[in-house]
Amino acid sequence: MSGDHHGPTSFWSKYVFSLDHKVIGMQYMFTGMFMAIIGGYFAYAFRMQLAFPGQEVPGYGIVTSHDYNSLVTNHGTIMIFWVAMPVLIAALGNFLIPLMIGADDMVFPRLNRLSYQIFLVSAIILIASFFVQGGGFGGAWTSYPPLSSNPEYNLTPLGAPLWLTAVALEIVAFLLGGINFLTTVMNARTKGMKMYDIPMVVWMIIIATLLFMASVGPLVAGAVMLLFDQTLNTSFFSVDGGDPLLWQHLFWFFGHPEVYVVLLPAMGIVCEIITTFSRKKLFGYKEILYMTFATGILSFFVWAHHQFVAGIDPRMATVFSITTLLISIPIGVLCFCFIATLWGGSITFSVPMLWALAFIGEFLLGGVTGIYLGSSGTDIFFHDTTFVVAHFHYTFFPIAIIGTFAGITYWFPKMFGRMMDETLGKVHFWGTIIPFNCLFIPLFLLGMGGQHRRIYNYENFPDLAGPEMQNMRIFATLSLVALLAFQLPFLYNLFRSMFRGEKAEKNPWKANTLEWVAPSPPPHGNFGHQFPEVFRGPYEFSHPDREDDFWPQSEPGPRGEIKEH
């Protein structure tokens, strides 16, 4: 357990160099939010260019073709590595894991602090890369060689290696954090907490961490080779002597599981919220767990579905089509478990619940459209069109944005000891969900019409420049502007509620898990002098033998299990 329980007193040791898992979690959260603003601003700039090509973008200026590439690349890179990962895994994982397993902190608090510091350095290097001579890297977040490996092709002799270094450091930060997460959940669970008493969000973060650790090795090796190609003139991935396709294998062996790395924590958040706000036991706790493991394992056998047009053997394409489509089975079971949990519950449409429900609906659309891309025959048509862009935003946006808002609005009372404003929360919810759909549905249609991605000005392509398509682009961009504008009520609500919100009780949602036993906000060391003991699983809601419709894990008494089936 962490050494010092008295709690630091000076500003520096309390907020900047803190060892407290909650403070480190907040540091990750606010850094992630800051990066989300940059990533969103980049999306604004390049979408404005698509809607109004060649015109000055208010707040940015002229978007040149080089700018466009760099904006798209860094938008994607930031959203995945500096928003989804820090907020969903690092921030919520750090904040929740010790509280939900009844521990006073992570088992390696210093490693935890080092993890955040390396992460911060990686973010600074990435931001610096936009300002060096030649500008930021523009070879896409997938960084395929030879474009990425050869400065004569990418024209960013400094931007490209800095981008790669930043990504590599970010990965180091998450490996350190991951070691800490795994060890803590294995060793620091409080008395009575058995494997199947662990709340689903903790399980999901742990499985995500395992996936990350198992998939990232080849990418790190590849990144070092790529860096050598860029800076030392080696030829691992060059066309003469090396093998550019090798990078695609290394990248996607990591890249596809990475989608599940960020997906799983969001799924876990959804489990906590839908049980609390439907007052029902989670349907199929063990089935959800096994299906998640199955998804994780399968995700290592699908990577080449990104390479159907890269010249792989068509017989291999069939194999990878089959494994890809197989994944929809466990994911489908998970969705059915969510629906069965909601079925017949007494549902409250609170703000966190709205986000959780929206997650299920929007993510389903992302999953269903993926079936077209997983089948090699149809993917050859759809590949690199904005159909793909729309598909993966229907997975990533629910994960990184909807899942995050679900988590923040649900745990805000615990984080800051105050309640957020419901009305503003609902305005923000609808102001995000409606424009999101208006933004990306047109991209499906445009993609089906043959609109390729990573093109900065469609006026250069007469077939794609007609008014019908251009009007859809304008509609999508205006929807984005609305979406961004509706984030202001959220930021106002967040910061105002932190200081002025109504004071929160210990357990405002009447939930069962251990974090709700600690004071809001929890002090240094979380539970005071006595750790809570666990007597039952996390989802005993509406138990027939009890008057209260919830049954905290820490309340002494029988385990209270009733047969589910």
The 3-class SS string of 354-377 reads: HHHHHHHHHHHHHHHHHHHHHCHH
256 binds, among Cu ion, ligand HEM, none (CB under 5 to 8 A by kind): Cu ion
Quick one: which segment of 75-83, 161-169, 317-325, 536-544 binds ligand HEM (CB under 6 A)?
75-83
Collapse the DSSP code of 257 into the 3-class scheme (helix H, G, I; strand E, B; otherwise coil) and give the result.
helix
- Contact criterion met (CB below 8 Å) for 106 and 2: yes
Residue 75 as a binder of ligand HEM (CB under 6 A): the answer is yes
Q: Which is nearer to ligand HEM, 302 or 443 (CB)?
A: 443
Q: Smallest distance from the beta carbon of 560 to ligand HEM, in angstroms?
A: 39
Considering only 24-32, 116-124, 393-401, 520-528, which stretch makes contact with ligand HEM by CB under 6 A?
393-401
Select from 1-9, 76-84, 102-110, 344-352 the region that touches ligand HEM (CB under 6 A): 76-84
383 touches, from Cu ion, ligand HEM, none (C-beta below 5 to 8 Å by class): none
* Binding test (CB under 6 A) with ligand HEM, winner from 5, 14, 426, 453: 453
Coil, helix or strand at residue 61: strand
At residue 283's C-alpha, the angle toward residues 282 and 285, to 5°, is 70
Does residue number 498 form part of the binding site for ligand HEM (CB under 6 A)? no
Helices (DSSP H) in 418-516: which residue ranges? Answer: 422-448, 467-485, 487-500
* C-alpha–C-alpha distance, residues 498 and 495, integer Å: 5
What would the two tokens of residue 117 be? 């510091």
Residue 518 is a binding residue for ligand HEM (CB under 6 A):
no
d(CA 67, CA 211): 34
Using Cβ positions, the residue closest to ligand HEM within the complex turns out to be 76
**Part in contact with ligand HEM (CB under 6 A); list of ranges 77-85, 265-273, 283-291, 308-316:** 77-85
CB 164, min distance to Cu ion, A: 21
Closest CB 369 distance from Cu ion, rounded Å? 13
In angstroms, the CA 46 to CA 261 distance is: 27
> Is 327 near ligand HEM (CB under 6 A)?
no
Q: CB-based contacts of 36: which residues, under 8 Å, 6+ apart?
A: 78, 79, 83, 87
- Residue 84 engages ligand HEM in binding (rule: CB under 6 A): yes
CA distance 170 to 83: 11
Q: What is the largest CA-CA distance in the chain?
A: 74
74 within 8 A of 130, measured Cβ to Cβ: yes
| CB 127, CB 184: distance < 8 Å | no
- Residues in 370-389 that interact with ligand HEM by CB under 6 A: 389
Cα 245 to its chain centre, rounded Å, is 27
CA distance linking residue 50 with residue 60, whole number of Å: 14
Q: How far is Cα 342 from Cα 328, in angstroms, rounded to an integer? A: 21
Other beta carbons within 10 Å of 467: 8
Comparing CA positions, the residue from 420, 404, 391, 401 lying closest to residue 501 is 420
Nearest residue (CB) to ligand HEM, 103 versus 226: 226
Chain positions 407 to 446 lying near ligand HEM, rule: CB under 6 A, are 439
Beta carbon of residue 342, minimum distance to ligand HEM (angstroms, whole number): 25
Contact criterion met (CB below 8 Å) for 180 and 94: no
Nearer residue to Cu ion within complex by CB, 189 or 256: 256
Q: Nearer to ligand HEM by C-beta: 51 or 205?
A: 51
Binding map of ligand HEM across residues 223-252, x = CB under 6 A, - = no contact = ------------------------------
Binding region for Cu ion (CB under 5 A) out of 255-263, 367-375, 417-425, 545-553: 255-263
Between 140 and 179, how does the x/- string for binding to ligand HEM read (CB under 6 A)? xx--------------------------------------
Binding residue (CB under 5 A) for Cu ion from 47, 75, 189, 256: 256
Regarding 459 and contact with ligand HEM (CB under 6 A), the answer is: no
Q: Which two tokens stand for residue 558?
A: 């029988």
Where does this chain bind ligand HEM (CB under 6 A)? Answer: 40, 43, 47, 72-73, 75-76, 79-80, 83-84, 140-141, 389, 393, 396-397, 400-401, 439, 453-454, 480
Where does this chain bind Cu ion (CB under 5 A)? Answer: 256
